[in-house]
Chains A and B, each alone.
Chain A
Amino acid sequence: MAAVQETVERVRSVDVDQYKYGFTTDIESEKAPKGLNEDIIRFISAKKNEPEWMLEWRLDAYKRWLTMTEPTWARVNYPQVDFQDLYYYAAPKQKEGPKSIDDIDPEILKTYEKLGIPLRERDILLGIQSKDEEQAKAVEENIDAVGYTGTKVAVDAVFDSVSVATTFKEELGKAGVIFCSISEAMREHPDLVRQYLGSVVPVTDNFYATLNSAVFSDGSFVYIPKGVRCPMELSTYFRINEKNTGQFERTLIIADEGSYVSYLEGCTAPQRDENQLHAAVVELVAMKDAEIKYSTVQNWYPGDAEGKGGIYNFVTKRGDCRGENSKISWTQVETGSAVTWKYPSCILRGDNSRGEFYSIAISNGYQQVDSGTKMIHLGKNTTSRIISKGIAAGRSDNTYRGQVSAHKKAAGARNFTCCDSLLIGNKCGAHTVPYIESKNASAVFEHEATTSKISDDQLFYCMQRGLSEEEAVALIVNGFVRDVLQQLPMEFAVEAQKLISVSLEGSVG
């Protein structure tokens, strides 16, 4: 019992303020006036040089949004967001658009360097080149372990409301891959954007998605042509810097027939007392035989030890397996945000298509997480797999909310769901709310969920073999989340592992 007591005390003493990405960058920025109305939307649209149809689309969404109410069904509590008290557009000030990396404000480059996000292509020999020796070493070790020989990651960096740089464009261009900011895509590839934007998450989908449709400022656009295996990992890094701003990014990824892409997303924000809003929409489209692997390491500022400040993360992510044999896989490591409301989903429309969801959600301090997935089986012989690992510590609440449904025509559908929760301390809560709806007799659904703490037996067993308590806890927690960590691309696995330790510092090594 003593060991447990100690663990609990350690967690209690965790200083949430040690969020290491909590710095701000001093740069001049250009902001739209506070508040939301049709003029602001026109302003954003004009800033982006958008075509007329896009403005119409936004205004339609705005009109619809005015008639909607905020959803309240999630197990999260937060003071009402005043949508008129936010800046909907903030961009780092530049005289002209950057022609090359060298034109970007050095302050911004420094920010990304601090975050460990390499924007300078020539510096990149490995996926992650960090000044942090320990981390670099860990990467190398991992690389040695699998005989991994250098890889490149193309990065799209989004700073507040705009994309500041996209790397490796040329090399990607050779393969026919389009990877750019969505505002650029709207200008350069309007037909593609027009065809797919809003086709997975309709404008009227939900309160936050509709708001996003009206005011989204930037995000990434990816198109992988038929039969192309994207030559490198694609990545977007989101950073909120400005005060009182909302970030509304929009990501659209289209994998055409027989193509493959792996996409990584990371996010951080400075420490601020007030709450900031992040309402993103991500749409994935996988055509016949295509595969999209989408990984997220979400590390928005979670608020301080008293639960003050932090990001409200209201995100709509959905993938559409449109063609036969297509596959979409979501992997997420959620350690940040004061409030998380996020359900990456798969619509399994094509026959034999497959959806996967792997999630680690860690909450500490006063964080509230309500996250999960939806697997909608529409096609024949569609399969899905859900592995969700929730770890609740401090005074946090961690909820898994998921839906698995088989349509009448989804003959041979198959789902396996496993959601496990681990509780550290007795002030936190772990909840599981699955909806499992089978309308087809030949569909086979299996669901299991457990909630427990690190058992005294496990701790005793490890410590008896000479591990310190801290090492033992680290080992057990790592084992607990292992199934999910294995799904992350190499570049992120190391970062994620570190994040988990930081998030639970005190209880985990």
Chain B
Amino acid sequence: MSADLHPIRTAAEQALSSAIDATLAAAPASGPIADLRRAAAKTFTENGLPTRRVEEWHYTDLRALMREALPIAGAPDAAAVAEAGKGVVAFPEAVRIVFVNGTLVESLSDLASLPAGLTVTSLEAALASGDPLLERIGSLSPKSYDGALALNTAFLRAGLLIKVAAGATVEKPLHVAHVFTGAAAATYARNVIVVEDGAKATLIESFAGVEGVAYQANDAMEMVVGAGATLEHVRLQEEGAKALHLGTLMLDLGKEATFNSFTLTAGAATSRVSLYGKLTGEGAHLGIRGANLLKARQHGDMTLVIEHIEPGCDSRELIKSVLADEARGVFQGKIVVRPEAQKTDGRMMSQALLLGDNAEMDNKPELEIFADDVQCGHGATAGAMDENLMFYMMARGIAKAEAEALLIQAFVGEAVEFVTNEAVRETLIARMEAWLKARAA
């Protein structure tokens, strides 16, 4: 009721706090990262895991969903690496970097053969050399408390610093794969990507892991796209069916820069992706598309906060959710237009297809507008499969299951088609088809 009441912390929250204290004690006592970690640890101890009373987490009560604090995963042994290597989705022509259980595995990675203009440094090496990109970590954090990000920062220990040099066009996509194998544990990854002025790059993140193990994966990334630069981003989340997946993306989009992102969410028992995007340069273009394919009792949450700070920017969001069985999809999208951001053009759409009788979709598209010369809109729909369309197809001799699969593919296809790299798009479509097949079987 009142602010000075001390909330009761769950066992998981207490265990997390003591685990943070333990890792902090073992880490170096000073340096920029150490300060950042300590600050995050403090906010976590104060605020704990977010509950449904925290507006941004209204539909994903992490305190109720994250009952257990798992030990941090150790470095994988050779057998685990071999096992994990098989689980990495192949993206044709992509340069690959693989993390197994949160640890960078050089033997599975193409670190030695990076294309010109692309620099990838491990967090460890960066800390040793005092890489200037380290300053980017924590620089784009949202003002409001985000429990998942606080945990990620407090446990910060592994990750990548990626730089695309000014003016460089890196044709080959960079694929950062996270694979989990072995017994239940928690992993934390923190990456930074800086695409300098006028540069172009494609970044793919993929997440996969063992089935039947309730592991926890928490990743976060700062993305800075410079003036006139372009970053194409793809996120493929196919964690094991019992996993908890928490992702935080923070974006700063410069003048006339372009950022396009596509997220496919098909895995994890509970998943949440938060994207905090700021359009800080005039005339920037932002495109966020996503597809959620959820079944059984999966819970998938996608939350966006897009802030238009400078004038003349446009943003487009399109999220397609397919919810089978008792799955629950959540979409929260907030477009903020600051007073200076005149001539903003924002469009947000979330569409859900409810296949299961007990499926649930919660939509919360928000507009917060302080400038008058803008065109902003959002839409949200939820409904079952169109019976007329089904009838039309079945009347033409297409079996029911096949007709349904075709319609789902068409529904989701509207979002996938924004992936410009053809090879990457084909791979994503293949993953979706695999999901449909697995569901039919």
Contact = CB atoms under 8 A, between A and B. Distances in A.
Contacts of A444: 381-384
Interface string A429-444: 1111111111111111
A219 interface: no
A424 B379 CA distance: 23
Contact of A443 (B356, B362, B383): B383
A434 B350 CA distance: 13
B366 A436 contact: no
B128 interface: no
Contacts of B377: 448-451
A446 interface: yes
Given A69-B2, A435-B362, A441-B359, A447 B368 contact: no
A425 B381 CA distance: 31
B378 interface: yes
Contact of A426 (B2, B342, B381): B342
Interface string A320-347: 0000000000000000000000000000
B157 interface: no
Contacts of A437: 360-363
Contact of B374 (A408, A436, A453): A453
B372 A450 contact: no
B354 interface: yes
Contacts of A37: none
Nearest to A423: B372
Contacts of B359: 441
B1 interface: yes
A447 B372 contact: no
Given A433-B366, A434-B365, A453 B372 contact: yes
A421 interface: yes
Given A432-B367, A439-B360, A441-B357, A426 B373 contact: yes
Contacts of A69: 1-2
B364 A434 contact: yes
A151 interface: no
- Chain A binding surface SS class: strand
Nearest to B360: A439
Nearest to B349: A448
Contacts of B358: 408, 439, 441
B410 to A, nearest CB: 18
B375 interface: yes
Contact of A438 (B354, B368, B372, B376): B354
Contact of B372 (A73, A425, A442, A449): A425
A265 B369 CA distance: 31
Contacts of A73: 55
Nearest to B364: A435
Given A443-B383, A447-B380, A424 B372 contact: yes
Contacts of A432: 365-367, 378
B372 A431 contact: no
Interface in B331-366: 339, 342, 352, 354-366
Given A431-B367, A443-B382, A453 B373 contact: yes
Interface in B364-418: 364-384
A428 interface: yes
A29 interface: no
Nearest to B356: A441
Contacts of B374: 423, 451-453
Contacts of B1: 67, 69
A362 to B, nearest CB: 15
Contacts of A450: 375-377
A428 B372 contact: yes
B328 to A, nearest CB: 9
A428 B368 CA distance: 11
Interface string B186-218: 000000000000000000000000000000000
A207 to B, nearest CB: 12
Contacts of B371: 423, 426
Given A438-B361, A445-B380, A449-B378, A426 B339 contact: yes
B112 to A, nearest CB: 50
A5 to B, nearest CB: 11
B382 A430 contact: no
Nearest to B352: A438
Given A451-B376, A452-B376, A441 B362 contact: no
29 contacts: A421-B369, A423-B371, A423-B374, A425-B372, A429-B369, A430-B367, A431-B368, A432-B367, A433-B364, A434-B365, A434-B380, A435-B362, A435-B363, A436-B363, A437-B360, A437-B361, A438-B360, A441-B384, A442-B357, A442-B384, A444-B382, A447-B379, A448-B377, A448-B380, A449-B365, A449-B378, A451-B376, A452-B375, A452-B376
Question: 5 smallest A-B Cβ distances: which pairs?
Answer: A441-B354, A423-B372, A444-B383, A436-B363, A450-B377
